[in-house]
């Protein structure tokens, strides 16, 4: 970003108009009552904000800052609502960045979950080993940013249990996920340790079907759907924000409680 210089008023209006939806979203997230002028954004950022590129950079930096503030405010004891079995949505919707018939076809008998980063035990895990860990069940609502939500039942290992088992540095900032379909995502550590965050093996009373994430997904009922990676191939603990498939295209990284 270049040093601050007086911004031409007409140019400012154009730049502001171009970015109106982003700025409005940012204002809602920042709980600002007053409206942000391009001048105020320029002052906050020390950036001249003349071109769309630098506006993007500023909005991006402010959004990531907002994520950090939300993380600090996050209440680790606040639970997402749970539901009864009769409230389960049937059929349950599918969503991915590709159509349902393209969901990866993974062989569970040779599957290995890779573990890396700030953990003391980097051995991989097969499905029998994951099933031998303590399991818990939840009936919660998955909320997709595209405008639908659905109630489902998932069963698997409380993610905190798994992180403890691999000797993860629980004071690290992020947990990242790489998926078999090249999807990826990441969570703040407080959310990773949240009691309802689950390393999921079963949907309903059977192993996850291919479309819902076989053989392993992360169920995070305190976050939007896109922060619930399916078909997980690798998990890593890090202090560098790993971003995500949608997060890196402008969806708010925190996207949850
Ligand atoms: N690997 C992978 N995980 C993913 C996605 C994806 O495309 N690939 N899409 C995400 C999105 S946007 C949503 S809403 C949920 C949908 O999960 P479902 O198919 O079980 O309803 O999966 C999330 N996890
Ligand atoms: Mo989604």
99 Cα–ligand 2 center, Å: 13
- pTM for the structure as a whole: 0.81
Say whether both 144 and 107 belong to one domain. yes
Q: Which atom of ligand 1 is nearest to the CA of 94?
A: 19
> Confidence band (pLDDT; 50, 70, 90) for 4?
very low
Q: Of residues 1 and 73, which shows the higher confidence score? A: 73
Say whether both 39 and 130 belong to one domain. no
Q: Which atom of ligand 1 is nearest to the CA of 231?
A: 1
- Domain of 210, CATH number, reads 3.90.420.10
Average pLDDT, the chain: 87
197 CB burial (10 A radius; 0-12, 13-18, 19+): buried
**Ligand 1 surroundings by CB, under 6 angstroms:** 93-97, 142, 144, 179, 181, 183, 211-212, 225-226, 228-231
* Residue 114: strand pairing partners: 234
CB neighbour list of residue 199: distance below 8 Å, 6 or more residues apart? 130, 156, 157, 158, 159, 162, 216, 218, 232
Say whether both 122 and 18 belong to one domain. no
User: Which residue's CA is minimally distant from atom 17 of ligand 1?
Assistant: 95
249 Cα–ligand 2 center, Å: 13
Give domain status of residue 78, yes or no: no
| pLDDT computed for residue 252 by the predictor | 86
User: Which residue's CA is minimally distant from atom 15 of ligand 1?
Assistant: 225
Pull the structure tokens for residue 82: 């749970």
Mean pLDDT value of segment 115-119: 98
The per-residue pLDDT for range 193-233, each reduced to its tens digit, is 999 999 999 999 999 999 999 999 999 999 999 999 999 99
Chosen domain end from 48, 73, 98: 73
Say whether both 112 and 199 belong to one domain. yes
Q: How many residues does the chain have?
A: 257
The per-residue pLDDT for range 20-44, each reduced to its tens digit, is 676 666 656 554 444 566 666 666 6
Q: How far apart are CA 214 and CA 71, in angstroms?
A: 30
Give domain status of residue 256, yes or no: no
The per-residue pLDDT for range 128-180, each reduced to its tens digit, is 999 999 999 999 999 998 889 999 999 999 999 999 999 999 999 999 999 99
**Domain housing 177:** 85-249
* Number of domains composing the chain: 2
Give domain status of residue 255, yes or no: no
């Amino acid at each position: 970003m270049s040093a601050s210089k007086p911004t031409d008023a007409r140019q400012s209006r154009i730049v502001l108009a171009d970015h109106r939806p982003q700025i409005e979203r940012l204002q809602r997230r920042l709980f600002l009552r007053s409206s942000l002028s391009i001048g105020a954004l320029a002052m906050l950022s020390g950036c001249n904000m003349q071109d769309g590129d630098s506006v993007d950079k500023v909005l991006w930096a402010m959004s990531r800052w907002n994520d950090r503030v939300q993380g600090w405010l996050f209440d680790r004891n606040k639970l997402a609502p749970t539901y009864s079995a009769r409230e389960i949505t049937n059929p349950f919707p599918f969503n991915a960045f590709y159509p349902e018939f393209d969901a990866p076809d993974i062989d569970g008998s040779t599957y290995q979950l890779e573990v890396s980063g700030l953990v003391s035990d980097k051995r991989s895990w097969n499905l029998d080993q994951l099933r031998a860990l303590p399991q818990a069940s939840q009936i919660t609502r998955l909320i997709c940013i595209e405008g639908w939500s659905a109630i489902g039942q998932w069963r698997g290992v409380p993610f905190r249990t798994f992180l403890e088992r691999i000797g993860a540095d629980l004071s690290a900032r992020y947990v990242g996920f790489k998926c078999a379909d090249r999807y990826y995502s990441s969570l703040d550590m407080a959310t990773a340790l949240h009691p309802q965050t689950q390393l999921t093996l079963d949907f309903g009373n059977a192993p996850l079907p291919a479309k819902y994430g076989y053989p392993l997904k992360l169920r995070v009922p305190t976050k939007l759907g896109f922060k619930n990676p399916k078909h997980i191939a690798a998990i890593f603990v890090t202090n560098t924000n790993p971003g995500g498939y949608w997060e890196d295209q402008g969806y708010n990284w925190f996207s949850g409680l």
